[in-house]
Amino acid sequence: MAKKGKAKNTVNKAKHTKLLNRKKAKLKKEQETRKERLKAIAQMKLPKNENS
């Protein structure tokens, strides 16, 4: 006979998924900020090279 009531692992799975999504979002945000910093550095260095 099938069990009645709430499924056993749903709470843990939901928490795990939430944490993984948070981790993925954090990594993506870090990558975007890194790209922006590199672009800013490249733009700062570019005029110095042209003047020399």
- pLDDT at res. 47: 64
- pLDDT at res. 32: 97
Looking at this protein, which amino acid is placed at residue 13?
Answer: K
DSSP one-letter string for the chain: ----SS-SSHHHHHHHHHHHHHHHHHHHHHHHHHHHHHHHHHHHHHHHHHH-
- pLDDT at res. 49: 53
- pTM (2 decimals)? 0.61
**Dihedral sign for Cα atoms in the order 30, 32, 36, 39:** positive
Where b means 16+ CB within 10 Å and e means fewer, 4-38 reads eeeeeeeeeeeeeeeeeeeeeeeeeeeeeeeeeee
For each of the chain's 52 residues, which pLDDT tens digit applies?
Answer: 677 777 778 889 999 999 999 999 999 999 999 999 999 998 888 765 555 4
